């Protein structure tokens, strides 16, 4: 019975482990035995188990950054200095433990019925082979199958496992505390910040939308009033013209009636003597003059022009939920001038400083003198937009033209922007201009755009050039397009590319 009872040092160790785990120590009820008191009094407090466990407890340095269960992934901690093979002369044995045997680890504080014995040496399995991960006897370690392996006393092994379990539990507790702190502090603070940021974002959206709405309403009201004033002006001109010419018609009718009456009812002698009177009436009729149309009789379309409204309209088309784009636009290979080379993907035009040895075949649709090329997209309805990368080129043209644009010869009829069939934005010698029918409109460009976008809105007959990076409108023109339009390009320096 005394052999199955733990010594007081073992009980102290178990109590220490329980305190580390912050668990309430359970009372140990031991059976009364006459030898119990003597056993507890004579127990050696310096037993190997106690020394190893206490020293290991004092010198153990926990690594809380290590994953919790990694301590069991690759075996135990390195063997302590005292963990050596059993000395010769001790109990020998080897082999696997009997499946029907039960352990009795009195030094570790675990109690069971009987000791496990080595099947081969019939000795107590009081050692642990770290190489094969099994219980062995001392003979197995010295002369048996585990000779030369890393072996440890079972008590030491149990102590190490206990300590590691304590470490794992402490790490779990610390991790739980960190999680609770994260929930209570970090997530709560994040939630408060989220609500504040969302509220601020809503206020910003409402403020920006309100400012844009207010500016748009004011601009709308101003433009409507301007259109109303222009309409009233033209109506007044029309009324004035109508009244003037109505009186002129009445005077002419009255004069004509008198002249007809004179012609039919005046005797010849009197008619001859009244030539002067007749001449005066004729001169009066001739003074009425010929009616003619003037610009004053037309509504000035500039009354509805607004940079703000045009910019908002363009932004709505280009950046809104129903943004337009021509993703299939490419260069038409049949129109590319022999002065240009076309990439394999039909998206990049490059100017050639020297004529190629083998120029493309000459066709009626190909430009033969000017470095021009047309796009493959024909536009006669809807809204279309495309973007051209011009950052590499110092001289180029981008715009639209009729399909009937002349392709042959070096005259202005085939030169983009110098005829009535093409509308282009041009860059040459650092200057940006809008060109149509030979007329140039200088453009004020704050910075050199790397990309230029084009927007063609057929319903409003509006062509607009803009900078995609800032959505700034470079120039817009309203025309009465009479035929389908094609994208038009020209380049005399480096290359330009249609982007998708």
Give mean pLDDT, residues 230-249: 91
Q: Could you tell me which residue, 81 or 307, shows the higher pLDDT?
A: 307
Spatial contact of 443 and 474, defined as CB atoms under 8 Å apart: yes
Q: Among 63-77, 259-273, 278-292, 341-355, which is the least confidently predicted range?
A: 63-77
Whole-angstrom distance, CA of residue 213 vs CA of residue 385: 26
Residue range 320-499 in CATH 2.40.400.10: no
Q: Among 35-44, 74-83, 466-475, which is the least confidently predicted range?
A: 35-44
Spatial contact of 465 and 453, defined as CB atoms under 8 Å apart: yes
Whole-angstrom distance, CA of residue 311 vs CA of residue 316: 8
Strand partners, 488: 374, 399
Q: What percent of the chain has pLDDT over 70?
A: 75
Q: Could you tell me which residue, 82 or 455, shows the higher pLDDT?
A: 455
Nearest to 475 by CA among 407, 412, 418, 417: 417
- What is the structure's pLDDT at 327? 63
Per-residue pLDDT tens digits for 311-361: 788 777 777 666 656 667 999 999 999 999 999 999 999 999 887 777 888
* 149 Cβ neighbours under 8 A, 6+ residues apart: 129, 130, 131, 132, 141
Q: Where are the domains of the chain?
A: 2-160, 320-499
Whole-angstrom distance, CA of residue 366 vs CA of residue 356: 16
Rounded to 10 degrees, what is the CA torsion of 155, 158, 159, 162? -160
Q: Among 76-80, 200-204, 240-244, 469-473, which is the least confidently predicted range?
A: 76-80
């Amino acid at each position: 019975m005394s052999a199955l009872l733990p010594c007081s040092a073992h009980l102290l160790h178990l109590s220490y482990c329980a305190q580390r785990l912050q668990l309430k120590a359970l009372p140990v009820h031991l059976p009364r035995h006459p030898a119990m008191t003597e056993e507890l009094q004579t127990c050696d407090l310096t037993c190997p188990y106690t020394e190893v466990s206490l020293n290991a407890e004092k010198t153990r340095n926990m690594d809380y950054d290590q994953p919790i269960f990694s301590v069991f992934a690759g075996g135990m901690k390195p063997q302590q200095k005292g963990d050596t093979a059993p000395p010769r002369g001790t109990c020998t044995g080897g082999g696997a433990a009997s499946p029907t045997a039960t352990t009795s680890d009195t030094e570790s504080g675990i109690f069971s019925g009987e000791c496990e014995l080595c099947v081969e040496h019939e000795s107590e399995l009081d050692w642990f082979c770290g190489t094969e991960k099994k219980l062995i006897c001392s003979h197995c370690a010295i002369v048996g199958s585990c000779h030369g392996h890393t072996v440890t006393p079972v008590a030491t092994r149990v102590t190490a496992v206990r300590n590691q379990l304590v470490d794992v539990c402490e790490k779990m507790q610390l991790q739980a505390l960190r999680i609770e702190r994260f929930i209570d502090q970090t997530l709560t603070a994040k939630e408060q910040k989220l609500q504040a940021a969302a509220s601020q974002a809503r206020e910003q959206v409402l403020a920006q939308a309100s400012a844009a709405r207010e500016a748009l309403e004011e601009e709308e009201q101003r433009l409507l009033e301007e259109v109303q004033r222009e309409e009233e002006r033209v109506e007044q001109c029309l009324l004035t013209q109508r009244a003037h010419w109505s009186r002129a018609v009445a005077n002419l009718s009255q004069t004509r009636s008198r002249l007809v009456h004179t012609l039919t009812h005046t005797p010849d002698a009197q008619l001859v003597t009244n030539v002067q009177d007749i001449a005066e009436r004729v001169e009066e009729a001739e003074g009425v003059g010929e009616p003619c149309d003037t610009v004053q009789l037309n509504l000035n379309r500039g009354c509805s022009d607004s940079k703000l409204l045009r910019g908002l309209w363009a932004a709505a088309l280009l950046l809104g939920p129903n943004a337009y784009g021509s993703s299939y636009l490419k260069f038409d290979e049949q129109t590319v001038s022999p002065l240009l080379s076309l990439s394999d993907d039909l998206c990049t035009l490059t100017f050639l400083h020297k004529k190629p040895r083998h120029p493309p075949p000459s066709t009626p649709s190909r430009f033969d003198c000017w470095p021009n090329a047309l796009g493959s997209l024909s536009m006669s309805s809807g809204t279309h937009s495309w973007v051209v990368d011009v950052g590499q080129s110092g001289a180029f043209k981008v715009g639209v033209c009729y399909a009937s644009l002349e392709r042959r010869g070096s005259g202005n009829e085939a030169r983009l922007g110098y005829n009535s069939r093409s509308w282009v934005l041009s860059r040459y010698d650092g200057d940006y201009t809008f060109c149509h029918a030979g007329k140039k409109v200088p453009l004020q460009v704050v910075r050199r755009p790397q990309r230029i976008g084009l927007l063609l809105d057929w319903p409003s007959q509006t062509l607009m050039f803009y900078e995609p990076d800032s959505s700034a409108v470079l120039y817009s023109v309203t025309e009465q397009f009479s035929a389908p339009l094609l994208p038009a390009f020209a380049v005399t320096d480096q290359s330009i590319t249609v982007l998708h």
